[in-house]
Amino acid sequence: MTLTPELKERIENLVKQNKIFVFMKGTKLMPQCGFSNNVVQILNTLGTPYETVDILEDYELRQGIKEYSDWPTIPQVYINGEFVGGSDVMLEMYQNGELQQMVKVALAS
> What is the DSSP secondary-structure string of 64-101?
HHHHHHT--SS-EEEETTEEEE-HHHHHHHHHTTHHHH
The pLDDT value given to residue 109: 82
- Reported as a single tens digit per residue, the pLDDT across 14-45 is 999 999 999 999 999 999 999 999 999 999 99
Give the CATH number of the domain where residue 44 resides. 3.40.30.10
Domain hosting residue 59, numbered range:
5-108
The pLDDT value given to residue 2: 74
- Mean pLDDT throughout 55-80? 96
What separation in angstroms does the CA of 108 have from each of 46, 90, 95, 102?
15, 20, 22, 10
Domain count across the chain: 1
The pLDDT value given to residue 17: 96
